[in-house]
Amino acid sequence: MDTSTSPAPRAAAAGPLDADALLFDLDGTLIDSTRATEICWQEWSRQLGLGDHGEHPHGVPARDVVAARVEPERRAEALALIERLEVAQTEGIVVKDGVAALLASLPPERWAIVTSCTAELAAVRMQLTGIPAPAVLVTADSVSRGKPDPQGYLAAAAGLGVDPARTIVFEDAPAGVAAGNAAGARTVGITGTYDAGALAAPRIVATLAGTRVTAAPDGTGLQVVLPSA
Q: Is 2 a catalytic residue?
A: no
Alpha helices in 161-206 (DSSP H): 174-182
Catalytic hit among 27, 32, 149, 172: 27
Contact 149, 124 (CB under 8 A): no
Contact 13, 221 (CB under 8 A): no
Catalytic hit among 20, 25, 149, 172: 25
Peptide bond into 148 cis (omega under 30): yes
d(CA 78, CA 85): 11
String of DSSP letters for 71-107:
-GGGHHHHHHHHHHHHHH--SS-EEPTTHHHHHHTS-
Residue type, 137: L
Q: Is 52 a catalytic residue?
A: no
Give catalytic residue positions. Answer: 25, 27
